[in-house]
A = this chain, B = another copy of it.
Amino acid sequence: MFKRILIANRGEIAVRIARACRELDIESIAVYSEADRESLHVKYADYAYLIGPAPSAQSYLVIDRIIDVCKKSGAEAVHPGYGFLAENAKFAQRCKDEGIVFIGPSPEVIDQMGDKVKARQIMKAAGVPVVPGSDGILTSEAEVLETMEQIGYPCMLKAVAGGGGKGLRLVRSRREVVSAYRAVGSEASSSFGDPRLYVEKFIVKPRHVEIQVLADSYGRVIHLFDRECSIQRRHQKVIEESPAPGLEDRTRRRLGRIAIQGARAVGYVGAGTLEFLLDSEQNFYFLEMNTRLQVEHAVTERVVGIDLVKAQIEIAAGGYLPWRQRHITQTGHAIECRIYAEDPERDFMPCPGRIEGLRLPEGLGLRNDNGVYEGAEVPIYYDPMIAKLITWGENRIEAILRMRRALREYQVRGIKTNISFHQWILRHPRFMSGDVNTGFIDEEFKPKANEEVYPHKEIALASAAIAALHGEHERTLGILAKGAAEPSKWRQQRASLRRSAAPGSRGWRR
């Protein structure tokens, strides 16, 4: 087993990996940008190395820096987490060249699966159903039009190098082909530096279902069943669960078998995920393969009882998978809510800033994976996801009710979060009945409509008034103390006092 692992990431996933390392008695090495000196992952790890300024292009994405720290620190392996360098074949190759174990699949596999067109071809050849679409690269408007006419509308025009909701356009009819071609084509060249395009049939109101696989270096591949990730906003997952509600057992078994088939076809090693679109008749189509740990891996961990990060590390260290497929069962139901620093009432605007107060929900059947602590600063440079909350229940209803209970306990002060938005989803009859698809939020969420429900308005008004009395009392003390010789640190406070006292200050005296 490794003695030291470098974690080439930040935030909750870096902490989560460091926890696994600690439980394996492996020393963890954090890297951090200048904006992350006081971040939780730095505090948590055994070692910490500064790798550059705040922007990730100058720190977390600089392969040379990471490799350099590996050498200086004596790390034998690198865990890339998700995002940043996790699906960067060059990085995986560089690790290999330098004799450092990359905790993930081979550079070749990352490369193949990173190219959406190649991935599609490989999977199709392996007998995995794929979304009907162009079989190769399209380079001209004419080719795009021809392909679309063949497949039939609606379809999607996509950039090969696109992802995360960028570099794609829905084409509903022949009329829209030209403008879509121009928009996606220019975005592909300018944003991704790769002009290649392809076309896919657009599945109406699909569900997003994915299968977790684990493969060791000796050819053993197992799947850890399905996850439902249809609750998305701007193509970002918001809530995930396992098992997928309402999935027929026959479909579930077939998905598992086919995922193993796909993983075998590419010679996959490590933990990976095959994403599928599921239509209303429970037909499924391969979407893409993520050659890394997913944000939502925790729901699978809970229902199958396997620590996926430990499994990744064991596999990378040359271990044999200790489980056969028959050992893997889904017990109960797990749900994950991603907690974002954003304001659902203002079009989900991100809310970086200092977390003045943080109280996490606790008790039976839940798990908090956090990248922040009380007093931490959420930097503007990185992803706004600050935490994940996972609940488990004997069945889906218990998991949902427990999640509602837990979200009600969740208190974050100083920044805004999407906690109330999660509550809204969890109370929605369509979500409750499992009737979800990737359009759920767009179809159902009307921010203004929810604002006017005030079941406890008198309590809220009384609370504000009590807080106002407390505030006034403290202000009185502060003004009395103001006469003193104050050190520089106090000036700011005085200035703000003056400001707030300015217009109607007489009103504040009793």
Contacts and interface: CB of A to CB of B under 8 A. Distances in A.
B487 A364 contact: no
Copies of this protein in the assembly total: 2
Given A23-B398, A477-B487, 8 more contacts: A16-B364, A23-B405, A305-B394, A359-B374, A360-B362, A366-B367, A481-B485, A483-B483
Please give me the 6 A-B residue pairs with the lowest Cβ-Cβ distance, nearest first. A484-B484, A362-B368, A481-B484, A23-B401, A22-B405, A19-B363
A152 interface: no
Nearest to A488: B477
Contact of A16 (B363, B368, B401, B486): B363
B367 A23 contact: no
Interface in A400-420: 401-402, 405, 408
Contacts of A476: 487
A359 B483 CA distance: 37
A23 B402 contact: yes
A176 interface: no
B363 A15 contact: yes
A374 B411 CA distance: 13
A441 to B, nearest CB: 25
A23 B401 CA distance: 5
B480 A483 contact: no
Given A23-B401, A487-B480, A367 B369 contact: no
A132 B189 CA distance: 86
Contacts of A343: none
Interface in A362-414: 362-370, 373-374, 394, 398, 401-402, 405, 408
Interface of A: 15-16, 19-20, 22-25, 298, 301, 305-307, 331-332, 359-360, 362-370, 373-374, 394, 398, 401-402, 405, 408, 476-477, 480-487, 489-490
A306 B16 CA distance: 27
Contacts of A23: 398, 401-402, 405
Contacts of A307: 364-365, 394, 398
Contacts of A15: 363
A19 B363 CA distance: 8
B359 A367 contact: no
Nearest to A21: B405
Contacts of A483: 483-485
29 contacts: A15-B363, A16-B364, A19-B363, A20-B364, A22-B405, A22-B408, A23-B398, A23-B405, A298-B364, A305-B331, A305-B332, A307-B364, A307-B394, A307-B398, A360-B360, A362-B368, A362-B369, A363-B368, A363-B369, A364-B367, A365-B367, A477-B489, A480-B485, A480-B486, A481-B484, A481-B490, A482-B484, A483-B485, A484-B484
